[in-house]
Amino acid sequence: MTSSQASPQILHADQEHAGLRTAVFFLLFITLVAAFFGIRALLTALSPVGTPDYAFVASCAGALPLALFLVWLAEMGLKRHWPSGRSITLTNDGLHMQTETDKQWQITQGQEIVPLFYYFEMRGWPRGGRERRVPRTWLCLAVEVKAGKKQAIAFTFMPP
């Protein structure tokens, strides 16, 4: 196996796993409420006569974009520090797979490895789940690696 990067190379799978999506949902709700009350408290503190009449409308209008921005930043950080637990590790002697339940297996270079590379356009396929976020013009690139009864399929989405 040749690679321009140092061995081993770890490819994390499922960057947007169920735990992360659930955390982002709850974080959005909490951040939205906190942003609303924070903006309202700030407007009240800055007003010399108490709570101004426009505080409710301004808090509603400002809370949503502020909460979305803060949750977007938090999601970027969570993606970096909270992997799904599934990964493929490419080493000089083969391929090591790990699932979130700590089940591990490997394909070594000593085995007869049969790779199958393929791609298709997202335009022609009905999409559900996370694939809906991928533009219709993009491609799905995939590789299936078989060695005996073991197989691994890795795929990604890319612009044409």
88 Rama class: left (phi>0) / alpha (psi -120 to 50) / beta: beta
What's the total number of domains in the chain? 2
Whether residue 76 lies inside any domain: the answer is: yes
Which pLDDT score is estimated for 131? 67
* Cα R_g (the chain), whole angstroms: 23
Answer yes or no: do 108 and 51 share one domain. Answer: no
Residue 154 is assigned to a structural domain of this protein: yes
At residue 1, the pLDDT reads: 46
> Whole domain around residue 100: which residue ranges?
9-13+88-158
**Residue 2 placed within a domain:** no
Domain end: 36, 53, 81, which one? 81
Whether pLDDT at 84 is above 80: yes
4 within a domain of the structure (yes/no): no
Q: 147 with 112: CB under 8 angstroms?
A: yes
Q: Which of 57, 81, 105 is the last residue of a domain?
A: 81
Residue 149 shares a structural domain with residue 115:
yes
Question: Final residue of a domain: which of 29, 61, 81?
Answer: 81
Tens of pLDDT, residue by residue over 1-54, are: 455 666 788 887 877 888 898 999 999 999 999 999 999 999 988 888 877 888
